[in-house]
Amino acid sequence: MKFYKVQASGNDFIVMLEGEAPDKSRRADYAKKLCERKLSIGADGFLVLDKKSDNDLHWDFYNSDGSTAEMCGNASRAVAKLFIEKLGGKSPVNLTTGGGITEIEVVNQLYSVKMPICQFVAEESQGNVWNTGVPHYVFEKKFDIKDEAIKEFCRENRFPNCLNDKGANVSLWYKKQDQFFAVSFERGVEDFTLACGTGAAACGLDILKRHSDLGDSIRLQLPGGQVNIRKTNDSVYLIGDAEIIFEGKVD
């Protein structure tokens, strides 16, 4: 079976095409097997793409533990690049995800993702809960992603009171001088990733809510690179680059 390895801001994915991928009933197991680092290809997620037209694409998305996710902003950028450069797709790309339809457009060689859902959910005791396609419990908190105490803090806050038993991703941000740093502890991965698009959007919205003097856009430094978050009256955009790393075959 042919696969592609892609990444956006260090958030990496294994991608197969419908018709060449395992049956749907076997995909969760394949995700766990193929995404395991050091023992397999290794990735944060596994996706199966179904091309409907030159501008329309559907995906079937699995986290590295085999669970599903409604939306992933970085994967949206990465598969849009793959779709356009390898599969005959054209910009703008209308991508159907579990969280709705999102539009990805190439702007100045960057990929701009119109997030399908971006809304404030609730204020909890320590932070705010946002839904940016998937839920994020957002805290203003300085972090070191190698610090076990920070990881334990995220594990303890995976289940805010306002959500169901699937819980939320936990996203952290802080300001140092004039720069904002952000990171996400992702459910389904149960660890920090180098980047999380929906988490970046949630942190960006949280920062703009707390710092109205910043206007309608902000640049975030993630462990895997920089992204821009831009807010309009009715939409939120995640903007950054993407890369096709390599392609190969697997049994």
Catalytic site residue from 72, 118, 154, 203? 72
Catalytic site includes residue 118: no
Catalytic residue among 118, 154, 196, 203: 196
Catalytic site includes residue 35: no
Q: Is the separation of the CB atoms in 237 and 201 below 8 Å?
A: no
Residue type, 75: A
Element (H, E) at 179: strand 179-186
Which residues form the catalytic set?
72, 196
